[in-house]
Amino acid sequence: MPLQQLEQVTLARDEFEALRLVDREGLQQQQAAAEMGVSRQTLANILKRARFKLLDCLSNGKALMIDEL
């Protein structure tokens, strides 16, 4: 199915950055939060939203779009 026909979900810049820092770079949430300039709880909330979007796309065949970096 062409990408244009898929429902799209957009990952915000902060969501992408949180995933990158924690899941790809392996930083602890406290370290990632400091790098992003947010509290650890805010980072946890951002990660929760990002992971939900990612799993929604994988589970339901939606296109994951990343907001302009």
Q: Residue 9's closest CA among 48, 47, 69, 61?
A: 61
Torsion sign, CA atoms 27, 14, 62, 4? negative
Give the pLDDT score at 2: 80
The stretches of 10-67 forming alpha helices (DSSP H) are 13-19, 29-36, 40-60
Percent of the chain with pLDDT over 70: 99
Backbone angles phi, psi at 8, to 5 degrees: -110, 140
The CATH number for 54's domain is 1.10.10.10
pTM beyond cutoff 0.85? yes
Q: Which domain holds residue 62?
A: 3-66
Q: What is the CA radius of gyration of the chain?
A: 13
In the chain, the number of structural domains is 1
Segment 8-35 mean pLDDT: 98
